[in-house]
Amino acid sequence: KQEVTQIPAALSVPEGENLVLNCSFTDSAIYNLQWFRQDPGKGLTSLLLIQSSQREQTSGRLNASLDKSSGRSTLYIAASQPGDSATYLCAVNPPGNQFYFGTGTSLTVIP
Amino acid sequence: DTAVSQTPKYLVTQMGNDKSIKCEQNLGHDTMYWYKQDSKKFLKIMFSYNNKELIINETVPNRFSPKSPDKAHLNLHINSLELGDSAVYFCASSQSRGGYGYTFGSGTRLTVV
């Protein structure tokens, strides 16, 4: 059964720093991987989706990488801002199935 | 304008009651989901429907029964509510089973007292 782990569970950085969030999964037979953001009391917002054949995806200050063979993905956030404070969730999608979610990394960017 | 809307946003009820949560999406997506997020913020799939057909039914007590009258709606009915059912329930939809355009509702916070 697929298990998704995110490290660290919580991260606090000063504004302007670059940072990396990590995600690992146990079964490399995935269709795609997606990074989500969750704000307190809100639903999830999709940030980036990486197909299994891709190595990375970029959107603005966000860059997500995927190494399927080693079961790892990273989310890189450049020049962090207080508005980036949220919980970031990694989710893997086995072929034809639903997403398995990690437990998230709670990010706080200090002004 | 809301893409995936859930009602109600908050639900407080007593043990043993029966309650329903409604979900509607206006994105034209084929697949809809129900997820449960527990107190530790862990998000887990409960059900998935594709074009009104149940395709995923994880290990969920049979007190939980999803109903999809059409592909734009996926409702969740819960019988004989228990304290452990307290959680945030999220509805989501996607263009296909592959997760394209995955969109979540804002959640329903269920508290059983």
- Which chain A residue shows the shortest CA-CA distance from B89? A43
3-state secondary structure chain A: CCCEEEECCEEEEECCCCEEEEEEECCCCCCEEEEEEECCCCCEEEEEEEECCCCEEEECCEEEEEECCCCEEEEEECCCCHHHCEEEEEEEECCCCCCEECCCEEEEEEC
**pLDDT tens digits for B9-26?**
999 999 999 999 999 999
Residues of B in contact with A44 (CB under 8 A): 43, 90, 92, 104
Regions of chain B where pLDDT drops below 70? 1-2, 97-99
pLDDT at B88: 95
**Cα distance from B74 to chain A (closest Cα, Å)?**
16
